[in-house]
Amino acid sequence: MHMQKPISQRLWEIDVTRGIALVLMIIYHLLYDLNVFFDFNIAYDKGLIYLIGKSAAILFILVAGISSSFSKNNLLRGLKLIIWGCIIFLVTYVVVPGSNIVFGILQFLGVCLLLYPAIKNITPYVLAAAGSAIILGGEYTSQLPVSQNWFVPLGFRTPSFSSADYYPLIPWFGLFLWGVSINKLVYKQKISFIKSANKLSKPFAAFGRHTLIIYLLHQPIIMTALYLIFDPLGFFNMLENTIK
């Protein structure tokens, strides 16, 4: 989820944006976990909390599009994200039955990176227009009647389909195209368009340099902390059942 470049060559505002997205995501998942697993009366699927969660996803996707041209190996990055997405699916399937993650954001971003070579030479205005059309298309794909879930990655699913984290290509690939378009318009020289980071933004930049590892670890850490605080006995019972 982040480009592999020496820190001295990195675009600091990209790392800051990733860091902000990570903070928003952690806040959202903390509130989500409190509601789903500990019965706190928190409406995570609407209002401000829902907006926090979606803002994090939007920032991640836009930044992935912007930074895709900076990577030396999008194929490797994409495959790595898809593999980690599959691992998360298997872990949640075993540890939290019913909370399956089918085509979550890691798998989605991995597929976007694999598709990048097919779009990298398209002009930015065409990319922006295509992205807008795909985003608008999302209003229709979710409503089309389908009998199978073979095309879930595209956004076509049955009414009974459920996933705790779901980012289909329609409409979300449109945001990735916007990010690629922004890159072509703003980062032609591959240098920061803002001269230097201020003290307030530096912690976010440091956070954003380690996006993938923080993404992979934050939920286990949050869940462990919440169980130890609110239900320590349940935590050890869950560990015992998982080991069995």
C-beta separation of 23 from 82 below 8 A: no
Give me the DSSP letters along 137-201: HHHHHTTS--S--TTGGGT---TT---SS---HHHHHHHHHHHHHHHHHH-TTSS-SS----TTT
Token pair 């989605």 in the structure block, residue: 108
Distance of alpha carbon 158 from alpha carbon 149, whole angstroms? 6
- Helix, strand, coil distribution of the chain in percent, nearest 5: 70, 0, 30
Distance of alpha carbon 37 from alpha carbon 152, whole angstroms? 27
170-188 pLDDT per residue, tens: 999 999 999 999 999 988 8
Cis bond leading into 145, ω under 30°? no
2-39 pLDDT per residue, tens: 444 443 457 888 999 999 999 999 999 999 999 988 98
Task: Kindly report the pTM of this predicted structure.
Answer: 0.88
Q: Which residue has the higher pLDDT, 79 or 207?
A: 79
The structure tokens listed for 29 are: 């998942």
Q: Would you say residue 133 has pLDDT above 70?
A: yes
Give the pLDDT band (50/70/90) at residue 240: low
Residues whose CB falls within 8 Å of the CB of residue 189, separated by 6 or more in sequence, listed in order = none
pLDDT at 143: 81
Give the pLDDT band (50/70/90) at residue 244: low
C-beta separation of 119 from 80 below 8 A: no
Distance of alpha carbon 69 from alpha carbon 86, whole angstroms? 25
Mean pLDDT score, 99-108: 90
Distance of alpha carbon 228 from alpha carbon 209, whole angstroms? 29
Residue 122 CB: number of other CB atoms within 10 A?
Answer: 14
Q: Which amino acid appears at position 125 of this protein?
A: Y
Q: Would you say residue 109 has pLDDT above 90?
A: yes
Q: Would you say residue 1 has pLDDT above 70?
A: no
Q: Which residue has the higher pLDDT, 60 or 139?
A: 60
The structure tokens listed for 207 are: 């956070």
The structure tokens listed for 110 are: 């991995």
140-169 pLDDT per residue, tens: 887 888 888 899 999 999 888 888 899 999
Under the phi-then-psi rule, with left for phi > 0, alpha for psi from -120 to 50, and beta for the rest, what region is 103? left
